[in-house]
A and B are shown apart, each in its own frame.
Chain A
Amino acid sequence: MSVTEAAPPARAAGTAAPSRFRMSWRTLLLGLFGLLVLLSIGRVLTGANDITSGGTFGAALGLAVPIGLAALGGLWSERAGVVNIGLEGMMIFGTWFGAWGALQFGSPWAGVIAGLAGGALGGLLHAIATVTFGVDHIISGVAITMLGQGVTQYLSKLVFEGMPGGGETQSPRVPAPERVSIPGIGEPLQALEAKGWFLLSDLAGLLRGLTQNVSLLTIVAILLVPLSYWLLWRTAFGLRLRSCGERPVAAESLGVNVYFYKYVAVIVSGALAGLGGAFLSLVAAGIYREGQTGGRGFIGLAAMIFGNWRPGGLAGGAALFGFTDALQLRQGGVSVHALLLVIALLLVAFAVYQAVRRRHVRAAVIAAVCALAVFVVFAVTDTVPDQFTSFTPHLATLLVLSLASQRLRMPAADGVPYRRGQAS
């Protein structure tokens, strides 16, 4: 997490000064607060009380975790220069092995470890294909995702079909890790929430969702974010790993074993995605079901891009997508309908920003028109049909990427196949 604001220093002729978007704590908190205000306005105007309830925020946290873990997995891999489209496949491995491990050994934590291992196996495969054989990263990733689907289908038929409560596309119920809460504040917060006061009740909902009934695995997942930051930015191991993704020939010339770091990075990446999958089957659903990843591996990648390849940013992205996911799952039509108003307001704010701060008149006009269109849809309809709410997170991903893609900066050697001895 970068906490400094970089003022671009004076430069020699001919070298370009990129505009880098660095987040400070202040801007971050201000932004979050602004979003909460917008949501509050939306709630009050539409009466869709669920969009800021404790239940929704709690669900959002839970749904953000698999996306965030996938994003973290993507981070580890891409920081070492390997694009990992196979995260979805590794996540699928995680869902299956997580359920299997828990059932086999009777403990959810055994499932967690099995899920980690399953994802890591997928990562190993990707590493062998891309690092040793120089296969194109995206193609290998797509192949592994396909393989993940096929293998888990096959294994389900073999293993789960005979079990009581299981079938060829799902497992029996699996034990879940414990949930914890911060004691004492749950009831007062709930009471405050029920009052329906502007902003205060919403804040209460946010706090209640974040502190009550949180799974232990969620806490582990959240801790992995600062741990990743520390490992990648503050240790020698992390510096060497990152250098493989920025300029591998430089690393090689200094005696760094680039192949080794790429392997480690991709295997860790798979393990993290596997952990995300295990979370889905053990915590979120309590059962393995075919296709339960639902593209979250890819959404995780989008969160990573949105977060500019930094742990703090991707956590924010995951939270955003988790929130839209939670909305559509709980009170689908009503909540998403209310969300339309919030989006319209956001687009208006964006249009104003483009026009005033950045002087991009054309972008501002397009944003304003979109805001108007969204508002019209909101006003004309009462609720959003189920089929549409099902793709809310995907649409959100698309929108976010469309708006944000241009100011981002990926590791310089990301996706570039590397062979020893390339230095000219």
Chain B
Amino acid sequence: MKPAVELRGITKRFPGVVANKNIELSVATGHVHAVVGENGAGKSTLMKILYGMLRPDEGEIRVNGEKVVFHSPADAIAAGIGMVHQHFMLADNLTVLENVILGSEPRRMFGIDFAAARRRINEISERYGLGVDPDALVEDIGVGERQRVEILKVLYRGARILILDEPTAVLVPQEVEELFRNLRSLVEQGLTIIFISHKLDEVLSVADAITVIRRGETVANVSPKEVTARRLAELMVGSELPSPETGESTVTDEVALEVSGLSLSKDGRPLLDGIDLRIRKGEVVGIAGVEGNGQAELVEAIMGMRPIDSGTIRLLGEDITHWPTLRRRERGIAYIPEDRHRHGLLLDAPLWENRILGHQTRRPNAKGPWIDRAGARRDTQRIVEQYDVRTPGIDVAASALSGGNQQKLIVGREMSGEPVVLIAAHPTRGVDVGAQAAIWDHLRRARAEGLAVLLISADLDELIGLSDTLKVILRGRLVAEFDPSRVTPDELGCAMTGAQEVA
């Protein structure tokens, strides 16, 4: 039988970069085919080409044996290909129904036939067990259900080949199993699934075939039965994996940051509910949890970026609960934000101005009300050298650097000025493996020198490897505490979803 999708010799160039080089991919009908590779390997670009959002510079695409050329997503949709994006493409202010039918609305006289649309959506939802409510407003439904809406969107348009881009990035182990059950039932009905991921355990458990991409090229096509996660990882990276494990304990007795009874709510709903937390000098406290359970609010509360309802925060014994953000920073709280492009950098400003960001009241950047340009420039040069930030110079705009180098700059900046506490939110998200290892090294070294670290991450390996103490946050409360050296990802996952509430 002809393969459902064949990509031959696909090449795509961007200014300064070759994203895809001679990619070969063959997906059999009725298979779940995984495409793995690390961040920046070129997987997203490849899928955008397959979905018609980008045109390849060279190469051809075949669907069910026939050559096709896609000028836009509409062409791909017509060929039976449907894409479920990693970042959901849903309009919050519109209903599920409106989001699903957009671009393929059923007509009745001059208007939309809402009744027919509703019927068809309910029918698809029941057939594949998706359980979606057409009249709900998208912003009111949870992450898992939104993903099912995205799947329903492509099924509504008659897709027979589904592309899922990092579908489990926002899901917890139990939800991942549910997703895989849905995928199995789709495949049983003859559909084909292409699955992009860098989570190798999941890939091994659900895929029928795996293609590995590295630096824009296909490096291997394997069957999951023949290969281990370790081997796959090595193929992905091309070298030994870094291990996040740390050495002996450096935890002291002195409490650097103490949070008591922290609560805040919005519109009557509690976002943080009585959080008690203690971080000692030389200790890394890791917090695991599904996105949206209060991590962001906790970070913002500690940084003073969000007002709280009740509770206290003490830094080295001093009550900083009502201090403004600037004062907290000056006193010694450093911050690596989750979204570096929004909160951590001025993308269009040169590197040396970004060095000043967050530290504009202290040496070496400032003297009183004046900015010390020479001092800031000198120090930026030091950070670039010490933290191995790859850049042509310090006058280059921050946007020109890669994600990993941007993050290294931020880490270097925040570590300067002898901080007492570091809040690190997803510090290696979207960062290439080399930079990730470097950042872990810096964190470990600072920890050994007495820095107290609050680590928030969705990468369970990172949490388990770096933390001295591991807590779980669920619905705004700290519900569990684990010893990182003994906990398993499955135990963590249960606590994170509340499947078993551990006191």
| Chain A residues within CB distance 8 Å of chain B | 8-9, 11-19, 230, 234-236, 239-240, 242-243, 246-247, 249-256, 409, 411-412, 421, 423-424
The smallest C-beta distance from B154 to any residue of chain A, in angstroms, reads 10
The smallest C-beta distance from B248 to any residue of chain A, in angstroms, reads 37
Query: Looking at the complex, which one of A230, A247, A421 makes contact with B90 (CB distance below 8 Å)?
Result: A247
Decide yes or no whether B104 CB sits under 8 A from chain A.
Answer: yes
> Is the beta-carbon distance between B54 and A421 smaller than 8 angstroms?
yes
Query: Looking at the complex, which one of B103, B293, B294 makes contact with A240 (CB distance below 8 Å)?
Result: B103
Distance of A19 Cα from B268 Cα, bound (Å): 11
What residue of chain B has the Cβ atom nearest to residue A10's Cβ?
Answer: B140
Q: 6 other contacts beyond A12-B142, A19-B267, with CB at 8 A cut-off? A: A8-B140, A14-B290, A236-B112, A247-B90, A247-B92, A412-B91
Chain A residues in 8 Å Cβ range of B87: 424
Q: Please, how many residues of chain B have a CB less than 8 angstroms from a CB on the other chain?
A: 49
The answer to whether residues A236 and B94 also contact, given A13-B476, A15-B292, A16-B267 and a CB cut-off of 8 A, is no
Distance of A205 Cα from B427 Cα, bound (Å): 68
What residue of chain A has the Cβ atom nearest to residue B89's Cβ?
Answer: A250
Chain A residues in 8 Å Cβ range of B99: 250
The smallest C-beta distance from B275 to any residue of chain A, in angstroms, reads 15
> Is the beta-carbon distance between A255 and B72 smaller than 8 angstroms?
yes
Query: Looking at the complex, which one of B85, B111, B292 makes contact with A14 (CB distance below 8 Å)?
Result: B292
Top-10 shortest CB links A-B: A14-B292, A255-B74, A12-B142, A254-B103, A246-B91, A236-B105, A250-B89, A247-B91, A13-B475, A234-B111
Query: Looking at the complex, which one of B72, B105, B139, B269 makes contact with A239 (CB distance below 8 Å)?
Result: B105
Chain A residues in 8 Å Cβ range of B94: 239, 242-243, 246
> Is the beta-carbon distance between B112 and A254 smaller than 8 angstroms?
no
Tell me the interface secondary structure of chain A in the complex: loop
> Is the beta-carbon distance between B269 and A16 smaller than 8 angstroms?
yes
Distance of A239 Cα from B291 Cα, bound (Å): 31
Q: List 27 A-B contacts (CB under 8 A).
A: A9-B136, A11-B142, A11-B269, A12-B141, A13-B474, A13-B475, A13-B476, A14-B290, A14-B292, A17-B140, A235-B112, A236-B105, A236-B107, A236-B111, A239-B101, A239-B105, A242-B94, A243-B94, A246-B91, A250-B90, A250-B99, A253-B73, A254-B73, A256-B102, A412-B92, A423-B85, A424-B86
Distance of A8 Cα from B136 Cα, bound (Å): 10
The answer to whether residues A13 and B102 also contact, given A246-B93, A246-B94, A254-B73 and a CB cut-off of 8 A, is no
Chain B residues in 8 Å Cβ range of A18: 139, 267
Decide yes or no whether B343 CB sits under 8 A from chain A.
Answer: no
Give the one of A239, A246, A254, A411 with max B CB within 10 A.
A254
Distance of A9 Cα from B269 Cα, bound (Å): 13
Distance of A9 Cα from B102 Cα, bound (Å): 24
Chain A residues in 8 Å Cβ range of B44: 424
> Is the beta-carbon distance between A17 and B269 smaller than 8 angstroms?
yes
Give the one of A9, A240, A251, A255 with max B CB within 10 A.
A255
Distance of A242 Cα from B103 Cα, bound (Å): 12
Distance of A239 Cα from B85 Cα, bound (Å): 21
Query: Looking at the complex, which one of B85, B102, B266, B475 makes contact with A243 (CB distance below 8 Å)?
Result: B102
The smallest C-beta distance from B146 to any residue of chain A, in angstroms, reads 10
